[in-house]
Homo-oligomer: A and B are copies of this chain.
Amino acid sequence: KAGWSDLDVRAVDTVRVLAADAVQKVGNGHPGTAMSLAPVAYLLFQNVMRIDPNDEHWLGRDRFVLSCGHSSLTQYIQLYLSGYGLELDDLKALRTWGSKTPGHPEVHHTTGVEITTGPLGSGLASAVGMAFAQRRQRGLFDPDAKKGTSPFDHHIWVIASDGDIMEGVTHEASALAGHQELGNLTVIYDQNTISIEDKTEISFSEDVGARYAAYGWNVVEIDWRKDGDGATYVEDVDALLAACEKSRDATKPTIIVLRTIIAWPSPTKQDTGKSHGSALGSDEIAGLKEVLGFDPKKTFEVSRDVITHTRKVKARGKALHKEWDKRYAAWRKGNAEGAALLDRLVSQELPAGLDKAVPSFPADPKGIATRAASGKVLGALAEVVPELWGGSADLAESNNTTMEGQPSFIPASKQTREWSGGPYGRTLHFGIREFGMGLILNGIALEGLMRPYGGTFLVFSDYMRAAVRLAAIQELPVTFVWTHDSIGLGEDGPTHQPIEHLASLRAIPGFEVVRPADANETAAAWVQILKNAKPVGLCLSRQALPTQDPKVAGKISNVGKGAYILREASSGTPDVILIATGSEVGLAMAAADTLEKGKIATRVVSMPCREWFETQTKGYQEKVLPAAVKARVSVEAGVPMGWRDVVGDAGEIVGIDHFGASADAATLFREFGFTPEKVVAAAKRSI
């Protein structure tokens, strides 16, 4: 039982009033859900979660994910009440320039916020990733501890809304959570049946509980509405608390379907779409305050008693932390090696000798596919970088994302004839769920210790694009491995051939697109990616690519600069510069042969990552692409968009601005103009 005192009840009502006041002050926002979720969030922060407001980075803390990010006040007000650092003035500054209380919660911005949410479905899906990470971390550091006794045991708590449940990505992530038997995950689904178009019955009539049962979740239904009339509404927090506590010991994920009335007890706007996304208006707020026994003339009214009471969570958190510290110290004592690894991961340092750990590939005109090279690199990194783990959305063999010999991350009962493993395994199997994979990878990274990666075909980056953007917004060290990165994919045809994807991914702020030209560039790229620790897309070829001279193409320092001179013009001063990425570097090299034979001094620049090149000094950039050389040709099997900045008015762009076709790769490259002759002709036009 929660055993709430009058002060607790007053605190919960204070939350409702603050939510209404804060939205009213700025004139826009989402008051309704924050009001009706007040007792839910208060219960989590005060009675359920193992948190310490004094230390937001506490390794043993439970995680809180507000999947309905539009109801950011639900989180901000609890952070204020429990003493994470937010104060009343921050609530007054809601949704204004420079405030700590932006429209949607933002990680790295507001103390206590674990994840940026808002795009619906994303919070819940990334919470599944956090639950993945918790299990993997426990397996890495403390696999033999009894359940609930390890300093690496913690729980993931989610509040989700009708919108989250409708989105396809929560289907994907929830199906995986059920499959993975994630007992460390609890979702409170606020079924208020109101969205922007008012009653959700207009578009939403599935039996959510039955659906989640079909995924293998524990389903608990708690109905505060009873017959749906606000007059009989009872916020039975004891039932909710019992369900939460039970879920902590579960062997499956739990969804608590909680039937609420949005904006309760707002006199006339409860249970309406208007209360979802608009300020209530001063009359309505006055009415609300009267119902709750607050002074209608005052705003942002918080009694000293209330705030003193609610901030006791700081003392309780400190005690929890202290108790945990003991267990943690005992663990460190018995696990020197694990402690050293943990210290490295916490400080976000890489192991020594990374550069030497990756394989080197001899020059070879036939070469191998960069996806195959990537697979070998991952295999070599497996022992050295235990924090690196990942898998594929059902394309393991095509994406070469499996570290050879590493066990699958899977309940023991779900191993198959092809894949062995266990709950603490390392190889991830996402099924055919690209978007879910993307957000799960984000969640793994948000836990703070691991370096996750996940693969699919480059063309299907479209399915997961919103996850990629959220990785970029949150600056998460996630590596998206995208293979089959051009028409070189061949026979599967236009639906499977990326055309616009390199450009469209480069357009995302803070995101890096890396497209290595050969096996050694691939190895160097992985090292640089690990060093940078940023969101990145690694685009790899299906087809074999010639391995260039490893003394040039294999140098991590070259690749890490984003662009470098792979082949200098015979004269030293180039007549023309060919700039290429990935599979087209070999084509540029072949064209350079012809041009040089025709006495045209040709430099070839390999440009595996434009974003990396842009961070180099002007001096280095000028060295690689001297302003004086206006004759330039870019070669990339993608849309021309974005290359004019590199080649300039006088330059030429060899690209493809239409969809592909179903045929073998060689035919497609020939038919679509990716031949040495076409590149030579473009170079001559440019000179």
Interface residues of A (CB under 8 A from B): 26, 28-29, 69-70, 95-99, 102-104, 106, 116-120, 162-163, 166-172, 175-176, 178-179, 195-208, 210-211, 213-216, 273, 392, 394-398, 408, 410, 414-419, 429-433, 435-436, 459-460, 462-463, 465-466, 469-470, 472-473, 490-496, 499-500, 503-510, 639, 641-642, 644-645, 648-649, 657-659, 661-664, 667-668, 671
Contacts and interface: CB of A to CB of B under 8 A. Distances in A.
B167 A433 contact: yes
Contacts of A214: 206-208, 210-211, 214
A205 B178 CA distance: 8
17 contacts: A95-B491, A97-B663, A98-B663, A106-B493, A120-B432, A166-B172, A168-B433, A171-B171, A196-B395, A198-B418, A198-B419, A201-B414, A202-B415, A204-B431, A470-B495, A500-B509, A644-B645
Given A202-B408, A503-B507, A116 B495 contact: yes
A410 B205 CA distance: 12
Nearest to A472: B659
Contacts of A103: 491-493, 496, 662
A96 B178 contact: no
Contacts of A206: 175, 178-179, 214-216
Given A196-B398, A205-B414, 9 more contacts: A104-B493, A118-B496, A163-B394, A175-B204, A206-B216, A210-B211, A210-B214, A503-B503, A509-B657
A176 B171 CA distance: 14
Contact of A509 (B414, B491, B639): B639
Copies in the complex: 2
B394 A195 contact: yes
A195 B658 contact: no
A546 B649 CA distance: 35
A330 to B, nearest CB: 37
Contacts of A499: 509
A641 B503 contact: yes
Contact of A205 (B179, B397, B662): B179
A469 B410 CA distance: 34
Nearest to A278: B397
A197 B662 contact: no
Given A178-B205, A659-B473, A168 B171 contact: yes
Contact of A168 (B97, B169, B492): B169
Contacts of A494: 102, 106, 473
A172 B179 contact: no
Contacts of A117: 495
A433 B202 CA distance: 13
B162 A166 contact: no
B435 A663 contact: no
A462 B460 contact: no
Contacts of A645: 644
A661 B418 contact: no
Contacts of A459: 119
A540 B463 CA distance: 24
B495 A473 contact: yes
B495 A432 contact: no
Contacts of A433: 166-168, 203
A419 B199 CA distance: 9
Contact of A179 (B203, B395, B509, B664): B203
Output the residue of A26, A410, A500 with the most chain B CB within 10 A: A500
A410 B201 CA distance: 10
Contacts of A167: 168, 172, 432-433, 463
Contacts of A162: 432
A197 B437 CA distance: 15
A45 to B, nearest CB: 23
A560 to B, nearest CB: 22
Contacts of A394: 163, 195-197, 203
Nearest to A491: B95
Contacts of A641: 503, 506-507, 641-642
